Copies of this chain bind each other. A is one copy, B any other.
Amino acid sequence: MSDLLTRLRGRGWRMTSQRRVVAEVLDGDHVHLTADEVHARAAQRLPEISRATVYNTLGELVLLGEVTEVTTDGRAKRYDPNAHHPHQHLVCSRCGIIRDVHPAGDPLTGLPAAERFGFTVTEVEITYRGVCPACA
């Protein structure tokens, strides 16, 4: 994710220790942390980091398109750093574990013109639900 840090600096981001730590916490695939979880992990490295800063930084990363928000359970939003690889989510109804998945074809084409009601449709968000092997 050092990629991300250089990309952000290139966009005029002022680099602070707080922002660096938040970006590092979000490193990797299949990461779907809530804001509080990001804060907890960031605080392990930088104990004095505040909740407000974590929220601010996450919000900026979303605006920059580096991270996407995912709401799978109507509770806290989760932050998914895998924003440059379009994907959907598969969630276990029992334990809540989340997997990134890739449906066949372009999900947007599944919606016929007659069902678009004049909307200009640009995005699809799909959540598949079921029971994971561990819970079965």
The interface-forming segment of A11-19, A46-54, A121-129 is A121-129
- Mark A9-38 against chain B: 1 for CB-CB distance below 8 A, else 0: 000000000000000000000000000000
Smallest CB–CB gap between A109 and chain B, Å?
A: 9
| Oligomer: number of copies | 2
Query: From DSSP, what is the main secondary structure of chain A's interface residues?
Result: mixed
Given contacts A121-B128, A126-B127, 5 further A-B contacts (CB under 8 A): A104-B111, A111-B128, A118-B133, A120-B136, A124-B127
The answer to whether A110 touches B110 (Cβ under 8 A) is yes
Least CB distance from A120 to B in Å reads 5
A84 at the interface (CB under 8 A from B): no
